[in-house]
């Protein structure tokens, strides 16, 4: 890689940012690594406090190539909101960068076959890790890294296949399924938040490990769906320590992974466990793992409460972020990853038809692709009819609401409760 460190005063349109000297949460853009397309971009970075940055000479102009600004940036009065859409459309970093317009995007149904195999592999790995933790034996990560790379490759081809598998109905409550679910959320979320490759790998590994301490707890407490007693809560709150005791003996587990696993239930207000840490006492990447963990727990009912609709899980996480339990920026990005109507959501259309969300248009999140399940007259749709609401021939066809798939009145045949693909 060929890079050069420059000052913000040398930054010009045409250059490609590789690294900034401010945290990503302070950046006016959703991703650090991106091409500078206009002088507005430069002004926004100055306003955010950037002093120095590193540019990638292979993906953008060097100092000698870049065109100087046509007029003083300081004379302009632009705001960060003016660039939000432009930064999304023009961003070329991370996974989006690897999917240029010239590349054929994998069809979802094809990538689902790969994702299903990955889900099985990941489930087996989580099961094996759980057995090691249960027996107090050290863990080696050498065989896990290739699996993380496989998952990242799948996201490059189609970033919705793994998330579709996550949202499928689970017949049983299993730690292996939960490990896969958190893993399937944390990878695209970390990539969207512009984590480094090392951080993405660490979060992926932590997702597989974080709840393996449950293997030494009464398994009936997982998915109890009734309020825990104080004695049960004390037991449950031991599971991070159980894993930590094993990871201490595991020489090749990165220190950051150990921090993530140990602290994944600590909350900013100090109400978490096991150490009641607050704010800056908590490792900076923990919140990414937390929101992925809570999301999977919420939709599949893994604690003392029954499962809920994905859209309601997102609302609950957003409300918690507003209270300061999580970073609002992280939850907002989770909502972007999942979509306004997450994959497999059962929805009512303005036509009166009922459908399942099968693919999300990130540019038009309110207009997903849906599979019609019930016709407007309530009869079952006998064909596999897929409708792209963003490009429908039917004028103003849109989602009017989300359906609870367990509602017999809305779904008498139980067809909206997805259990397979």
How does pLDDT run across 379-419, given as a tens digit for each residue? 999 988 999 998 888 888 999 999 987 777 888 877 887 76
Could you confirm whether domain 108-338 is CATH 1.20.1630.10? Answer: no
Helical residues (DSSP H) of 254-408, grouped into ranges: 255-263, 286-300, 310-322, 328-338
**Threshold 0.85, pTM exceeds:** no
**Closest by alpha carbon to 41, among 6, 92, 86?**
86
Contact 187, 118 (CB under 8 A): no
pLDDT digits (tens, 9 = 90+) for 176-196: 999 999 999 999 999 999 899
Phi, psi dihedral angles at 306 (to 5 degrees): -70, 160
Query: Where is average pLDDT lowest: 101-110, 258-267, 327-336, 358-367?
Result: 101-110
More confident residue, 29 or 338: 338
Provide the residue ranges of all domains of the chain, joining segments of one domain with +: 3-97, 108-338, 346-402
Mean pLDDT of the chain: 84
Residue 233 has pLDDT above 50, yes or no: yes
Contacts of 20-29 with CB under 8 Å at 24 or more apart are: 20/45, 20/50, 20/53, 21/50, 21/51, 21/52, 21/53, 22/48, 22/49, 22/50, 24/193, 24/194, 25/327, 25/329, 28/80, 28/83, 28/87, 29/83, 29/87, 29/91
């Amino acid at each position: 890689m060929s890079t050069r460190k420059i000052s913000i005063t040398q930054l010009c349109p045409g250059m490609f940012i590789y690294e900034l000297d401010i945290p990503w949460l302070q950046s006016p853009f959703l991703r650090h690594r991106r091409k500078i397309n206009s002088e507005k971009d430069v002004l926004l970075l100055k306003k955010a406090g950037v002093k120095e940055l590193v540019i990638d000479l292979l993906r953008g102009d060097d100092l000698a190539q870049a065109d100087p600004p046509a007029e003083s940036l300081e004379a302009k009065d632009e705001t960060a909101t003016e660039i939000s859409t432009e930064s999304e459309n023009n961003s070329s970093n991370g996974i989006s960068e690897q999917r240029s317009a010239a590349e054929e995007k994998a069809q979802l149904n094809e990538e689902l076959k790969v994702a299903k195999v990955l889900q099985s592999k990941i489930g087996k790995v989580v099961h094996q890790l759980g057995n090691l933790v249960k027996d107090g034996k050290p863990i080696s990560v050498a065989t896990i890294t290739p699996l993380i790379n496989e998952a990242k490759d799948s996201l490059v081809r189609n970033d919705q296949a793994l998330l579709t598998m996550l949202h499928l109905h689970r017949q049983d409550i299993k730690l292996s399924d939960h490990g896969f679910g958190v893993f399937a959320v944390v990878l695209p979320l970390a990539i969207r938040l512009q984590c480094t490759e090392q951080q993405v790998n660490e979060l992926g590994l932590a997702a597989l490990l974080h709840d393996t301490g449950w293997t030494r707890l009464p398994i009936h407490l997982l998915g109890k769906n009734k309020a825990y007693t104080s004695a049960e809560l004390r037991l449950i709150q031991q599971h991070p320590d159980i894993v930590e005791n094993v990871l201490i003996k595991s020489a090749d587990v990165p220190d950051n992974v150990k921090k993530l696993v140990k602290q994944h239930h600590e909350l900013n207000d100090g109400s978490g466990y096991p150490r009641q840490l607050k704010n800056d006492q908590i490792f900076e990447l923990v919140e990414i793992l937390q929101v992925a963990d809570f999301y999977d727990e919420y939709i599949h009912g893994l604690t003392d409460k029954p499962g809920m609709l994905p859209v309601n899980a997102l609302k609950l996480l957003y409300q918690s972020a507003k209270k300061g339990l999580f970073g609002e920026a992280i939850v907002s990005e989770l909502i972007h990853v999942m979509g306004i109507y997450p994959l497999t959501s059962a929805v009512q259309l303005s036509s009166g038809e009922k459908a399942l969300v099968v693919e999300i248009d990130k540019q038009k999140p309110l207009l997903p692709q849906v599979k019609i399940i019930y016709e407007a007259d309530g009869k079952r749709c006998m064909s596999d009819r897929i409708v792209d609401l963003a490009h429908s021939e039917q004028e103003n066809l849109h989602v009017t609401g989300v359906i609870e798939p367990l509602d017999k009145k809305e779904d008498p045949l139980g067809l909206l409760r997805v259990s397979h693909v």
